[in-house]
A and B are shown apart, each in its own frame.
Chain A
Amino acid sequence: MAQAIDMTAATPVQRSARRWNQRTLAPWLFLAPGLFMFTVYVLWPIIQSITLSFYDWNGLYNQDGDFTGTFVGMGNYAELMTDPAFETSLWNNLKWLVLYMAALPIGLFIAIFLNQTVRGIRLYKSLFFFPFVISQVVVGLIFAWFYAPNFGLFYLLTEAVTGKGTAILAEPDLVTYGIILAGLWPQIAYVMILYLTGLNNVAPDQIEAARLDGAKGWRMLWYVVLPQLRPATFIAVIVTVIGALRSFDLVSIMTSGGPFGESRVLSYYMYEMALGEFGFRMGYGAAIAVVLFAIMMIFISGFIWKMWRDETER
């Protein structure tokens, strides 16, 4: 109350000046703690990593606490060009990106299947969503069991069909597909929930009108429903791309990049180079991270561009 009295005592000019000051300063005070943390832990490390990618460094400091790296210019990147493990990782990342997109149609299909109002449907929806809630470490272990040689269900299934069991995680040519399948399980669940929310908000009058015009099945889905699901599809594409490029956990748990390094992806190879048993090649690892970052930036820019358009339209 004292403050209010104080306010009215001031002349209008003083008052508006104070308000103006308060309103200019206030956002920065509110932003300060969050912005500080984000700068220290996210923005600054990005710049440091890019710088580091031009150095050769084992991660250590000398006795005086000085950085011991040596500048090698484009050396790390030149080495990447001829590194077969890097090439394998890059190809595998591409496989992940392409095959992960299967989560969209499958997720949509399940969402349509579940978009009914029958008894107990809510519980069904929750249970279908389950795989997304559990850790990728657990998903990895579950699928490792599923794929296990000799008694794993997948092994038995292939044995029944072809007469010879396939231990997919031990097959250099197939291993990546096996891990991608494990990753798709939670990803489909995520996409499904996005589409279920989207379907909930599809305008019923448009559906009814189209139905009167004789639209049904695929044509209805393609021409009437999908256009209305565009926001959901957009988010689904974004989270699926990010999920595909962040595929560290499953590779690490299921195969540690093997057999013969055939299931490596950039995120895992980077970790291997920088902190793995082959020694601490921080600069080389940073260079791999920069490549991954550049690939991700293509998608981030697209996302920001669309957000920018939506914001300025308002």
Chain B
Amino acid sequence: MFPRPIQQTSTGTQWLYTIALPIALIIWLFPLLGVALTSLRPASDLAQGNYFGMPSGIAWENYVFIFTETPIGQYMVNSLWVTIPTVIGAVGLSLMTGFALAVYKFRSNILVFFMFVAGNFVPFQILMVPVRDMTLQLGMYDTWYGLALFHVAFQTGFCTLFMRNFIKALPFELIEAARVEGVSEWRIFWYIVLPLMRPAIAALSVLVFTFIWNDFFWATVLTQGVDSQPITAGLSSLNGQWIAQWHLVSAGSILAALPPVAMFFLMQKHFIAGLTLGAVK
């Protein structure tokens, strides 16, 4: 193990480590902690310049205010409308593409695979004008499905890479044996491979959920109004209205951050498995 386990060092070092851990964490998360505290600070404190001293009270009313006086609830619902269909679509499509690229040997296999991988890395701006134009032409501009369809297509690149590598690591004998038995290819996919894909599906679902929930660029390009804008774009426009009302900006930020954070804590193992794909041989 590297570095040397702390248990093998002197008592002094062990003490130092025990103290250093929480201090390092507080420094690391300082900006976030500050914003979380500000979100619960009464507006009057900020007006009097009391930014870091003892708050005069805990102001849950900041949260009540943004829920009742701004469309933030609607924005969050919109985010779900974009995020959940995208997760289902991208995971579904990539299960099939991943299966095709992992199981069959055909001439353009590697070419198709690399195309998915490369497409996943292109800058969004090279897609922006044509995708926006197409979405407008199809009458899907400023709708949840117009945004979700694009996300499904784009995320399929990353998901295919993941699924293909996951299926490649399954024992191929399973598929061979089924073929000898005369099981059709679709049934092999549905009854043999799919049940083994649960960990991959879980990992990709949490990752795609987080990516899409946090997306800002496409939300700005493909949606406009309160009826369809997701929380990221909504928060940005609210920020424009709340100039320097930091208690409101903070409360909004914390709300927007909550769903992915909850997702991460609930599905931590899968999340990290998905993100560190390829980090070990």
Contact = CB atoms under 8 A, between A and B. Distances in A.
Q: A and B: real partners?
A: yes
Interface of A: 3-4, 7-8, 19, 22-24, 26-28, 30-31, 33-35, 37-38, 40-46, 48-49, 52, 59, 112-113, 115-118, 124, 126-131, 133-138, 141-143, 145-146, 148, 151, 153, 185, 190, 193-195, 197-202, 204, 207, 211, 216, 220-221, 224-225, 231-232, 235-236, 238, 242, 245-246, 248-249, 252-253, 266-267, 270-271, 274-275, 282, 285-286, 288-290, 292-293, 296, 299-300, 303-304, 307-308, 311
Contacts of A232: 276, 279-280
A19 B179 CA distance: 9
Given A126-B265, A232-B279, A115 B154 contact: no
A49 B278 CA distance: 32
A189 B20 CA distance: 18
Contacts of B34: 142, 145-146, 153
Contact of B49 (A145, A151, A300): A151
B279 A41 contact: no
B122 A300 contact: yes
Most A CB atoms within 10 A — which of B116, B128, B160? Answer: B128
A27 B32 contact: no
Interface string B112-133: 1011111101111111111111
Contacts of B232: 135, 137
B17 A30 contact: no
Contacts of B189: 30
Given A137-B232, A145-B34, A296 B128 contact: no
7 contacts: A37-B156, A45-B130, A49-B129, A133-B261, A134-B260, A142-B31, A190-B275
B74 interface: no
Contacts of B184: 3, 22
Contacts of A138: 235, 253, 256-257
B143 to A, nearest CB: 15
Contacts of A289: 123, 125-126, 128-129
Interface of B: 1-7, 17-18, 21, 24-25, 28-32, 34-35, 38, 49, 51-52, 93-94, 96-97, 99-101, 103-104, 106, 109-110, 112, 114-119, 121-134, 149-150, 152-154, 156-157, 160, 179, 181-182, 184-186, 189, 210, 213-214, 216-217, 220-221, 232, 235-236, 239, 244, 246, 249-250, 252-253, 256-257, 260-261, 263-265, 268, 272, 275-276, 278-281
A138 B281 CA distance: 34
A3 B185 CA distance: 12
Contacts of A127: 25, 28-29
Contacts of B28: 127-128
A37 B151 CA distance: 10
A26 B185 contact: yes
**10 closest pairs, A vs B, by CB?**
A41-B153, A30-B100, A45-B130, A135-B214, A34-B97, A27-B104, A37-B153, A48-B130, A289-B125, A197-B276
Given A133-B210, A246-B124, A292-B126, 11 more contacts: A30-B189, A31-B100, A112-B3, A134-B260, A135-B213, A141-B252, A141-B253, A207-B2, A286-B126, A289-B126, A308-B110
Contacts of B101: 27, 31
Contacts of A185: 31
B153 A253 contact: no
A304 B119 contact: no
A42 B216 contact: no
Contacts of B264: 126, 129, 133
Contact of B126 (A40, A49, A124, A202): A49
Contact of A267 (B4, B35, B125, B131): B125
Most A CB atoms within 10 A — which of B99, B100, B101, B236? Answer: B100
Contact of B96 (A31, A292, A304): A31
